[in-house]
Structure 1
């Protein structure tokens, strides 16, 4: 489960995303981003927030995975999106999560084991809050995932590739909502107004 605090953020997540997108090779500058929804994975250690945002800009829909940390991630300055002040947790370092080993492990686990998004537990609310994006991995692996090693993500037109030692991951940045899923090991997602699931990520041959 993912613990969410009722807090004030400065700058907001969407403000950080709006400043980050124009520098990415897969972003077409045809409009300010608007949030469609988001989903979270759980960090078993409870230290790193893992939240992926689905945003619309112009006629395109983008996927932006973020990781939130209470300290800097060593060797990841290139993927630092910015910092924000969290009224409960204090200063948070916000990274492109494709460069964060905690996110890479969580994503691979979800795909290989058929995991869904984390339940959202909000301070002061007795019941979990529903996610605005629902995801599910296609795998059925019962055991643990292969040992992974951190490596720099490589982004191109529409996708980011992460070579993580035991697996090779493809993260869709530009979401093709009108195409069918073709990969065997995928993370698919749906949100309000979307008729069929869309491929968000996949494990691909090395």
Structure 2
């Protein structure tokens, strides 16, 4: 479960992404327009230390981009290449925001969601000692979850940062679609998603055991 805070964040997530996204080779859209948040989903970090959120965003009339992010309370060693930026959270303090494709915690969470069907985490606020659940902005589903547990994912061996982005870990290979348009010839167990205005589920990611 993901505990959310009614907090002020500077810069906002969309402001961070507006500065970072146009520099990606797989970005398509207008670089000088405000980003639109289309939907989002979260995974749980079993250790409870890293926030894991995937945003679907669009720039102007461009395609929808899928951007997995991790939020950390300290820099991730050896991951400067994947740093999107930092933001100040009025409750949690400074947060280091990473392109999650370079963060092994995200790799393990995505593998678990696809191979075991754990799905997205429930989001909630604490209000006067009560839990107030926030309805998800999209639905995600794994096509054929078949494992009870996933072998330890371990560190990331290699990332091919394109569309799709290929992440090779110790026990799994992950494929994350960056632009949610037509992709063919991809193999592995599949994660799909749908949201308001997109009623037929689209592929989001694929996972294969190594």
- Per-residue CA deviation, residues 108-163 of structure 1 (Å, 9 max, x unaligned), is 0000011211000113163311111221222333421022132242112x211000
Corresponding position of 2:172: 167
Deviation larger for 192-201 or 124-133: 124-133
Q: Does 1:195 align with 2:186?
A: no
- Write the mapping of 1:76-95 to structure 2, written as runs, cut at 5 A: 76-95=79-98
Shift in alpha-carbon separation, 1:96–1:83, aligned structure 2, 3 A: same
In the alignment, is the contact (CA less than 8 A) between 2:28 and 2:62 conserved in 1?
no
CA shift for structure 1 position 56:
1.2
Shift in alpha-carbon separation, 1:205–1:146, aligned structure 2, 3 A: closer
CA shift for structure 1 position 71:
0.6
Gaps of 5+ in 2: none
Larger strand percent: 2
The counterpart of 1:155, out of the listed 137, 156, 161, is 161
- Per-residue CA deviation, residues 32-73 of structure 1 (Å, 9 max, x unaligned), is 321101110011111100000001122311000000000110
SS of the aligned residue for 1:126 comes to strand
The counterpart of 1:145, out of the listed 137, 145, 150, is 150
Shift in alpha-carbon separation, 1:181–1:109, aligned structure 2, 3 A: farther
Shift in alpha-carbon separation, 1:82–1:114, aligned structure 2, 3 A: same
In the alignment, is the contact (CA less than 8 A) between 1:179 and 1:198 conserved in 2?
no
- Spell out structure 1 runs of 4+ moving beyond 6 A: 178-182
Q: Does 1:62 align with 2:65?
A: yes
- Give the TM-score normalised by structure 1: 0.92
Rounded Cα–Cα distance in structure 2 between residues aligned with 1:184 and 1:79: 25
Q: Does 1:19 align with 2:19?
A: yes
In the alignment, is the contact (CA less than 8 A) between 1:61 and 1:174 conserved in 2?
yes
CA shift for structure 1 position 81:
0.6
Q: Aligned pair count?
A: 204
Shift in alpha-carbon separation, 1:202–1:88, aligned structure 2, 3 A: same
- Give the TM-score normalised by structure 2: 0.90
SS of the aligned residue for 1:60 comes to coil
SS of the aligned residue for 1:104 comes to helix
In the alignment, is the contact (CA less than 8 A) between 2:186 and 2:206 conserved in 1?
no
Q: Report the aligned-residue RMSD.
A: 2.0
Deviation larger for 136-145 or 83-92: 136-145
